[in-house]
Structure 1
């Protein structure tokens, strides 16, 4: 996972190196004590040997190391793998602590230029200095809506049990850094505790013994709220408030609660048969349970602290009036057994009633989780707005008698949490593939006698029919038991939308995302199904209502090229226009990075997505529609990953207008949100990126130079052709991929609930999902989805134009989109290792073809490195991000033996499968290498 690294350009890397070495030595002690000297010496032999090979290639030494690996038995191999994996985990924690301490140091320094890129203070001051007035900043803040969307990840390689241990190690290392004045005994005691936690890492199985369920994945997502987000969210707002005061003075710019957390976990049913309607209901109830429990805890804190007595204060009239009414309604009965003290402590009295109502609401949610019928009692909440209203009454009342200092602490933080999370915790998106809806609608129309040949209709006739049916007052519905199982399940999902909106509040769902949207009718089909479930209809006053927001997802290169025709067809339809107005006139459009990159390569994907954003905004402007773009980014470069702040700022000028939504893949959640300190940072740099990119709403933003677009159009076309030449038109490429990477074995690792292929056992690029496509190439150290085709494209452009190099350097210096692309590409190249990739190529059955393909890939790799260094004028890749460069360089000597071990195990495992049906003795060790290499690379798919 690549995180934002700009703050650390001047970091003291020697200090980090010493700290990594210190904890590596602790691990070495544990290995000697727990496993004996032989294992320790084996690990050291491999580590030092491959470090030596990095410094100078020695064929004899390389052969000796490979022979040493071949002579190891499976038990020794497993322990060596686990040792390297444990080292990666520890070094990742040390790096994260180092980054956090660097940020604290810069913040404490208090000098604006030294604050990190993406900090709230630096961003707000830069905008002020550009001419953004306090009034304009308020306009910007009022339109801000930042929505990271958590997703489950089919190749997520971490266990929650281990994450808890890792959190403890992070906290202890952080404590160690603050013990400057401590005695040697105190430091030694803390080091012993850290060693104990590292020993627990060693004793805990890093590989799951069973495949996780969707509910496991839901709980995995909830973990981050408990561990960091409930505290990080209020801190995010506090940092923004401080930045506004610093730049504009007190009380000039109000910071609204602009953050919303989205989720796909439990709602994304595209290709996952385990995400049923029942699972979706459970996902929502689990989120509600987490939110309500957190609020109860915080209300308890407020009850203990807000002990104001009416002998010394006079609450506001609004508060007193409300308390009197709630006392009459339920308080006097609920508090009958309490002492009279609560009669003179008004805030405690109301908070006690609020806690009781929260507890009752939580009990109903938990009963429903246990499949029990439960009805909310009178003394409960049926929505978060009332609870929030009560908190604000207390807040305003405290201010009324000059206790604003107390109001601005825990109470203010709780208000922020409720405004951000409500009772639902997150907004759940539903996703399904378009053909499911088409076939469902076809069956319903056929069985109800409305249309017997829907799927054969031309697109215009489909749209007309769907629009007419949506406008009807009533629709005939076929008898449910007559329907096929898949149609019944699809209808149940829409029924669940209706049910859970009533149960969890109208804001519980984000959007209904349609993957593989090829036609406008795909959106209208979802709206017809929503109509049948009562989500669309007319009030008694004949007012149209629409309680669903639909987002088309454009994924492939071909889909991106058809955005204008699909959306124009949709926006021209009067029925759709009316439904859009009824739902708030906001059109969300999702753009898929993963499939477009797998389909046409990183250059074509980036450029087509860049242009697609401008197309969408131009269209929605034309029709007077507000638009929010939803970016389906992955964690790795090959799936649209990269630093969040830079990615948002690099969007086309004037296409980010206060709102942005993007996926946070399961593989990056641990890196971003396991620890409070990092979570605040990640939320902050994303939100400031949004603020900076949205500045065009209040001050003029210069459009991209036309010459940049002309150049990029040419470069992208060459790059796409080069990528397709390899992946689509090279005989044997898919055999090379399946046999020369561990992608087949990845499917046997208990990583996620969703299958890795759309079509099982088909060696076809269209059948494999984008995530395992990227994961397989990464494990085999090719990483080609993140860079292939760029070298050919840049070199070709440079040779065609006499001023080509000058133009490319100008684009890199002055065009954020191009700079971001080349920066992310450097990460993909830096994690590739062509000598190791050659070892994986030796696994391919047809060696003649394999050698040709490998030679093609290596030539493109070397060309791409050369071209990027020429343009960026760097001596080495990633010279402009020294901490990240150091981090990857430090891991390589530990990854090299693991990759060679994995190649050996792949060969043995596959040979075993050709000879017998008995379980492979090599499989478990092989799966451990997949986990370990993913941890070392800091990404999966």
Structure 2
């Protein structure tokens, strides 16, 4: 199918509808300020004209008030700006709902990358047997994280869902009511959510989207690819971080983890009860009906009271369903047998856990906890740890840890809260496995993992606290920074050559999960180096693991925008080649990526299918191996880009610019996530303390998107200057990985708008620094167009580009207001206006409020 029809479909089903509904929306009286809906289009036009003329945001806002609202008081002007922000936030929701409603029309639900297409291709190429064999071991795991890139409270998510349905049905009356509801519903949280609140809002997606879309995909594979009703490898599963991710979040306590696990179990039991209720209306046959009623009653009671004695294990539940199915087949003409199969498949996929709770903590915390535990054991005497343990070499310590068999049961003996909580979390994993099944919680991730000792400290702690007889937990190191990625194969070899650790891996199916962090990688090493560094690390880790007959399972910590490893994710997985282990695709899905890529049944199914087929395409769809020459060019590009980015990062104005010219410090005030927005306690802004999300988000609010392109232009220019540009062209032609990398970078460039901050070029203090960024943007844009042969960015994706352009247009007034307010605050700073000044506080509130709509609008960064 040609590219053009997709754009036509987008224009007809999304753009035209948005224009019609937006005009209705603008006439609704939401607030006390009259004429907001009439004035916003005029303000929008003033912004567009102003930026074309080279005006700065302050001039644009002043011009608007002079021209259209000269008689308003200062207070009334500020009020109108707040109303504009409110309206724009709701316009973004309207556009989201229209795009969601049009998803199956705009995207070909049976086209390339879907399961139907995969099956047809495999059949026509006589590779169906190979496909079946591959599906028996291949898995996709999406891991839902509560990282704060999503600003909608649950009530608004509900409205978006209802609005999407109403738009699909063109129900004007319902749409009008929902517009009214939207106008009256608050969009932001007055208080920070707790980790439990975050878990509840993600469980909404499990219940309303994933339960159905996962089941449908599994049913399709079972019926159409295998053509049977037998149980196969589950292929897709879900991981879950809220309530288990303790890294940098002091609010995740052991009881939070238990509470979330109980909530997950309750949610899945309720879904089973609901399915059984539907089945009971169909299976009204003698010898069958009473058995279904009994199951329904058990599930209902069990979901209300998980401590009840009248219960079934997940295994017994499936066994009873299979027995009912056999009876229906043998005595009742197989009536409704597919409905019974659907439920059996869902129990197979979700068990009693719904999603697997991952536990995560920083290696530095583990080290300090472990030191306290060892000191306590040595002090008590009769320990397997020698008195001089802390003075021993790393290799000697690892040897002792691999044999450690002390019992640490009295966890309350430790007064330090962090020590006590870390150890209690380990014992809680055991509890969850007993109530929700082993898949309820069976993985512990060590962030900031640098050494084999980091892994062995946790390995020993798990055994000493809760798993002395059999360790049913996988230990997963997370490598994030560029040096840690380079060092990772050596760390893994140390572990693979440790007898005790290797015995543990053999007992766990000879698999080792290794997590790689894109977000922090980009923050640390820039766009090209982070992606290439992870690619190379995966190659070396695959080679090292295969040497010891271990299957490496790579778990990618990806964010929404390209700068955090997002973008067209499935393209990366279909381009990895045979040198990277590909039995499983595991990725984090966070914030607005959950709602934009997986928020509806259509988008969820489509994007899951794309991930499944990308991994399979990589295996049975040709060779993506990089040649020696191409590898050298890629190495060199990454190195040049890394040096360029490092120099930029160490510029004396880098931190002051982020601190004073961007929205960085306002992230903490938005109350969107339970985690603090930076790691350290220092008042001074230190780069290593910065979290990747506020860091990338602040560049995005400035419309400069630095982490998504900085260094790319300089790296390409080196080849142009040396007259060797054809080497890069060769790499682009040969490597799907490199091509995807650059296409994602183009998305970052498309979303940049330097006219917004052009006024900074004249700033005495920051002008030169702004120009450095702008220069790199221009160089990158020019050379990417030269390399791809495009006349404009994202030329190969006109529908995606059109979606971005509409969203950017919607938020243009919002960004203008934000910059206007930031400029006022910068002036207050220079004039020494105190922090508690009333007028200053108003402008700070404008900046914080304007963050919401802008971030929500960029959902297609995912």
Shared fold by TM > 0.5? yes
CA distance in 1, matches of 2:390, 2:122: 53
Instruction: State yes or no: 1:468 paired with 2:403.
Output: yes
Partners of 2:56 and 2:758 within 8 A in 1: no
Partner of 1:320: none
CA distance in 2, matches of 1:930, 1:824: 23
How much does 1:361 deviate?
2.2
Instruction: State yes or no: 1:435 paired with 2:364.
Output: yes
**Counterparts of 1:224-243 in structure 2 under 5 Å?**
224-241=205-222
How much does 1:131 deviate?
4.5
**Counterparts of 1:712-791 in structure 2 under 5 Å?**
712-727=634-649, 729-760=650-681, 761-791=683-713
CA distance in 2, matches of 1:351, 1:639: 48
Instruction: State yes or no: 1:487 paired with 2:419.
Output: yes
CA distance in 1, matches of 2:656, 2:481: 23
How much does 1:67 deviate?
3.8
Partner of 2:532: 607
SS at match of 1:562: helix
Match of 1:211 among 185, 192, 197: 192
Partner of 1:935: 856
CA distance in 1, matches of 2:57, 2:669: 34
CA distance in 2, matches of 1:569, 1:281: 34
Partners of 2:33 and 2:83 within 8 A in 1: no
CA distance in 1, matches of 2:632, 2:335: 57
Match of 1:832 among 749, 752, 765: 752
How much does 1:825 deviate?
0.3
Partners of 1:840 and 1:903 within 8 A in 2: no
Match of 1:141 among 127, 135, 140: 135
Query: Once the two structures are superposed, what CA deviation does each residue of 1:531-570 show, in whole Å capped at 9, x if it has no partner?
Result: 1123132xxxxxxx22111000000001000011100111
Partners of 2:366 and 2:458 within 8 A in 1: yes
Partner of 2:382: none
Partner of 2:315: 385
CA distance in 1, matches of 2:452, 2:577: 25
How much does 1:829 deviate?
0.5
Partner of 2:305: 364
Match of 1:809 among 729, 752, 755: 729
How much does 1:839 deviate?
4.4
SS at match of 1:902: helix
Partner of 1:187: none
Instruction: State yes or no: 1:459 paired with 2:459.
Output: no
Partner of 1:533: 465
Provide closer, same or farther for how the CA distance between residues 171 and 43 of structure 1 changes in structure 2, counting only shifts above 3 A.
Answer: same
Match of 1:100 among 97, 104, 117: 104
Instruction: State yes or no: 1:26 paired with 2:24.
Output: yes
CA distance in 1, matches of 2:293, 2:644: 67
Partner of 2:432: 500
CA distance in 2, matches of 1:685, 1:584: 27
CA distance in 2, matches of 1:839, 1:213: 40
SS at match of 1:651: coil
Instruction: State yes or no: 1:397 paired with 2:327.
Output: yes
Match of 1:11 among 9, 12, 25: 9
SS at match of 1:148: strand
Partner of 2:817: 901
Partners of 1:644 and 1:685 within 8 A in 2: no
Match of 1:683 among 583, 608, 620: 608
CA distance in 2, matches of 1:9, 1:607: 32
Instruction: State yes or no: 1:295 paired with 2:236.
Output: no
Instruction: State yes or no: 1:799 paired with 2:721.
Output: yes
**Counterparts of 1:272-291 in structure 2 under 5 Å?**
272-291=249-268
Partner of 2:452: 520
Provide closer, same or farther for how the CA distance between residues 251 and 478 of structure 1 changes in structure 2, counting only shifts above 3 A.
Answer: closer
SS at match of 1:518: coil
Instruction: State yes or no: 1:90 paired with 2:94.
Output: yes
Partners of 2:561 and 2:861 within 8 A in 1: yes
CA distance in 2, matches of 1:512, 1:599: 24
SS at match of 1:499: helix
How much does 1:918 deviate?
5.6
How much does 1:625 deviate?
1.0
Provide closer, same or farther for how the CA distance between residues 719 and 684 of structure 1 changes in structure 2, counting only shifts above 3 A.
Answer: same
Partners of 1:602 and 1:787 within 8 A in 2: yes
CA distance in 2, matches of 1:456, 1:30: 72
SS at match of 1:429: strand
SS at match of 1:615: helix
Instruction: State yes or no: 1:854 paired with 2:795.
Output: no
Provide closer, same or farther for how the CA distance between residues 598 and 69 of structure 1 changes in structure 2, counting only shifts above 3 A.
Answer: farther
Partner of 1:80: 84
Question: What's the C-alpha RMSD, in Å, of the aligned pairs?
Answer: 2.5
Q: Which runs of 5+ in 2 are unaligned?
A: 67-73, 379-384
How much does 1:357 deviate?
2.1
Query: Once the two structures are superposed, what CA deviation does each residue of 1:79-113 show, in whole Å capped at 9, x if it has no partner?
Result: 0111111111111221222222234xx56xxxxxx
Partner of 2:546: 621
CA distance in 1, matches of 2:13, 2:298: 52
How much does 1:35 deviate?
5.2
Partners of 2:138 and 2:235 within 8 A in 1: yes
CA distance in 2, matches of 1:405, 1:706: 60
Match of 1:348 among 289, 295, 319: 289
Instruction: State yes or no: 1:703 paired with 2:625.
Output: yes
Question: Is 703-712 or 510-519 further displaced after alignment?
Answer: 703-712
How much does 1:192 deviate?
2.1
**Counterparts of 1:191-210 in structure 2 under 5 Å?**
191-210=172-191
TM-score for both structures, normalised by structure 2: 0.93
Partner of 1:311: none
SS at match of 2:688: coil
Match of 1:425 among 354, 362, 379: 354
Provide closer, same or farther for how the CA distance between residues 213 and 453 of structure 1 changes in structure 2, counting only shifts above 3 A.
Answer: farther
How much does 1:688 deviate?
1.6
CA distance in 2, matches of 1:452, 1:762: 40
Question: Is 614-623 or 447-456 further displaced after alignment?
Answer: 447-456
Partner of 2:202: 221
SS at match of 2:236: coil
CA distance in 1, matches of 2:264, 2:441: 12
Instruction: State yes or no: 1:49 paired with 2:31.
Output: no
CA distance in 2, matches of 1:274, 1:515: 17
SS at match of 1:627: strand
How much does 1:7 deviate?
9.1
How much does 1:53 deviate?
4.6
Provide closer, same or farther for how the CA distance between residues 49 and 559 of structure 1 changes in structure 2, counting only shifts above 3 A.
Answer: same
Partners of 1:442 and 1:452 within 8 A in 2: no
Q: Which runs of 5+ in 1 are unaligned?
A: 108-114, 177-189, 309-344, 366-374, 538-544
Provide closer, same or farther for how the CA distance between residues 204 and 571 of structure 1 changes in structure 2, counting only shifts above 3 A.
Answer: same
How much does 1:420 deviate?
1.1
Provide closer, same or farther for how the CA distance between residues 711 and 492 of structure 1 changes in structure 2, counting only shifts above 3 A.
Answer: same
CA distance in 1, matches of 2:126, 2:626: 21
Partners of 1:660 and 1:690 within 8 A in 2: yes
Match of 2:247 among 260, 270, 287: 270
How much does 1:677 deviate?
1.8
CA distance in 1, matches of 2:353, 2:321: 18
CA distance in 2, matches of 1:525, 1:550: 11
The total of aligned residue pairs comes to 840
How much does 1:749 deviate?
0.8
Partners of 1:630 and 1:662 within 8 A in 2: yes
Provide closer, same or farther for how the CA distance between residues 204 and 646 of structure 1 changes in structure 2, counting only shifts above 3 A.
Answer: same
CA distance in 2, matches of 1:255, 1:841: 61
How much does 1:901 deviate?
0.7
Provide closer, same or farther for how the CA distance between residues 553 and 6 of structure 1 changes in structure 2, counting only shifts above 3 A.
Answer: farther
